[in-house]
């Protein structure tokens, strides 16, 4: 393999600024961009989209890509390639690593998108067209050993009489509760949040994008995580991305509150201490989700934004966050983030010129 130092991550085509070494963020959460971290020879280790990132108990950074030549790309903290594997997940979208009794396991979410052999060479956003670059099939969730051996899968809920056959299932994310229960967002399908036990047995569902109760409604529910910051009272924080909001539910699906994120098409949170970090795929600009306008947002224990690396500085009027957008200098579409023990961030992107993860070094 060629020397990774020879390669630099491809970044925002709208900007003439080389982001390597740029300082981003606000207040106590500022970072220097390392655009060389994780860059590899694309001829040897190709990627399509860097859809997900996770850190295992050995502090290896695991990247999930929908390029089926290597779904999993595994680095050490210095950005050195350790291994690649996986060809079974064409719609690879989310990954979570969980430690059970001292052993790491992987949950992978495949959202059901596959490369279209009849692609017309032009269409990329014509999602219902038979000639789009990717086309939809049903998705699934799989539990794997850390080496990638399959343990079990969770498929279309119609097989257990939870969905009708005409309701699509294209999951986007998964969270694992302390008792092992699984919470799956169906953000590209029917927008329900589905709860299963640790053996994959169905418990309940809620949400849906046509729910008459606006609090329970979920629209493009792209991510989910369990919030353990309040002792003895864990909750779920769930993205309703198309509503520019995060919603808080009990572990039994009872609505608690909404965290408004105006201007942000936001994904699910990643927790570290009293804070959480969430990828923003697009900013809401001129009435739409603008291309190449992503950033990372960071919230404190009161769910208030304290920093927007790659975005504009957060401003509150009273308790209301004012619309926040990109600063156009750094990112394309932020799709994944993880945090190491030194509070450095690793950022994965969708539609970012086939780029590898970026490292944001805390300063």
Average pLDDT, the chain: 94
Residue 7 reports pLDDT greater than 90: no
CA distances to 14, 23, 95 from 280, in Å: 18, 18, 17
The conformational region for residue 284 under phi > 0 = left, psi -120 to 50 = alpha, else beta, is beta
Taking every pair of C-alpha atoms in the chain, what is the biggest distance, in angstroms?
56
Q: How far apart are CA 153 and CA 200, in angstroms?
A: 8
Given a cut of 70, whether residue 11 has pLDDT beyond it is no
Q: How far apart, in whole angstroms, are the C-alpha atoms of residue 141 and residue 294?
A: 26
pLDDT band at residue 19 using 50, 70 and 90 as cut-offs: confident
Q: Check residue 329 and give its pLDDT.
A: 86
Nearest to 139, CA basis, from 85, 194, 79: 194
SS3 content of the chain, % helix, strand, coil (to 5): 5, 45, 55
d(CA 166, CA 177): 30
- For 245-262, what is each residue's pLDDT tens digit? 999 999 999 999 999 999
**Rounded distance between C-alpha atoms, residue 162 and residue 149, angstroms:** 28
Q: What is the pLDDT of residue 9?
A: 59
- The full set of domain ranges for the chain reads 4-15+29-339
Mean pLDDT of 275-297: 97
Fold entry, domain 4-15+29-339? Neuraminidase (2.120.10)
Q: CA 258, 180, 95, 219 torsion: positive or negative?
A: negative
What value does the mean pLDDT take over residues 194-221?
96
- Contact criterion met (CB below 8 Å) for 17 and 331: no
Encode pLDDT of 336-347 as tens digits.
Answer: 999 999 999 999
Q: Return the pLDDT at 319.
A: 95
């Amino acid at each position: 393999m060629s020397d990774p130092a020879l390669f630099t991550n491809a970044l925002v085509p709208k900007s003439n600024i080389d982001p390597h070494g740029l300082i981003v963020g606000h207040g106590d959460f500022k970072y220097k961009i390392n655009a060389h971290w994780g860059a590899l020879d694309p001829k040897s280790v190709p990627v399509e989209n860097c859809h997900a990132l996770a850190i295992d108990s050995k502090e290896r950074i695991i990247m999930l890509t929908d390029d089926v030549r290597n779904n999993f790309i595994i680095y050490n903290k210095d950005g050195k390639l350790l291994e690649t594997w996986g060809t079974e997940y064409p719609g690879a979208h989310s990954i979570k690593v969980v430690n059970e009794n001292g052993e790491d396991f992987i949950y992978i979410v495949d959202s059901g998108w596959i490369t279209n052999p009849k692609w017309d060479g032009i269409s990329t956003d014509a999602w219902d067209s038979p000639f789009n670059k990717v086309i939809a099939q049903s998705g699934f969730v799989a539990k794997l050993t850390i080496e990638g051996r399959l343990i079990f899968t969770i498929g279309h809920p119609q097989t257990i009489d939870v969905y009708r056959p005409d309701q699509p299932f294209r999951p986007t994310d998964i969270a694992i509760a302390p008792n092992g229960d699984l919470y799956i967002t169906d953000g590209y399908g029917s927008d329900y949040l589905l709860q299963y036990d640790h053996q994959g047995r169905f418990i309940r569902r809620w949400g849906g994008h046509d729910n008459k109760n606006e609090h329970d409604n979920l629209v493009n529910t792209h991510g989910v995580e369990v919030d353990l910051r309040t002792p003895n009272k864990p909750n779920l924080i769930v993205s309703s991305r198309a509503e520019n909001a995060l919603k808080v539910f009990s572990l039994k699906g009872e609505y608690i509150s909404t965290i408004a994120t105006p201007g942000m098409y936001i994904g699910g949170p990643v927790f570290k201490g009293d804070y959480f970090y969430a990828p923003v795929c697009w900013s809401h600009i001129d009435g739409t989700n603008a291309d190449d306008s992503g950033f990372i947002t960071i919230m404190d224990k009161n769910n208030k934004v304290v920093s927007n690396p790659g975005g504009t500085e957060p401003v509150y009027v009273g308790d209301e966050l004012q619309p926040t957008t990109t600063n156009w200098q750094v990112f394309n579409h932020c799709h994944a983030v993880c945090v190491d023990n030194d509070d450095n961030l690793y950022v994965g992107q969708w539609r970012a010129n086939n780029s590898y993860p970026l490292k944001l070094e805390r300063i």
